[in-house]
Amino acid sequence: MADLQALIKQGEGISVEFKECRHSLNRDVYETVCAFLNRHGGNLLLGVGDASTVTGVDLGHMEQIKKDFVTAINNPQKINPPAYLSIDEVEVGGKMILHIYVPESSQVHRCNGHIYDRNEDGDFDITDHTRPTGG
């Protein structure tokens, strides 16, 4: 937990992203997962605002958020190839957050058919910025 508090204190960056997700998953959560998979991996913290404010995930919605995340992350229509990630419930400052560690992948992943990459503290659609190799 001390490690997560240090991550929150350091703020968002190339390998750390915060999403409030108090009652449901933000649509761009999957873009961040895709970008982390395609870059160097990272830590996604649900229940933390952009200004490193721990808002927490509403306890009445936590199980549904976890279920929705796992279902989508294993759906090749959403993330392709699918990624197998786990979600940890962690108490920080008296509030529950969800921590998702995303490892670096050896494959190129797409989210909804788009390739995302991570740069500083943002996710960028680089689908049209890739060049085919070969002649």
In this prediction the pTM is: 0.90
**Helix/strand/coil for 54:** strand
Domain boundaries, the chain: 2-126
Which of left, alpha, beta for 74 (phi over 0: left; psi -120 to 50: alpha)?
A: alpha
Of 117, 102, 99, 2, the C-alpha closest to 47 is 99
pLDDT of residue 39: 95
pLDDT digit string, tens, across residues 37-89: 999 999 999 999 989 999 999 999 999 999 999 999 999 999 999 998 989 99
CATH class in words for 2-126: alpha beta
95-102, strands of its sheet edge to edge: 16-19, 42-46, 95-102, 87-92
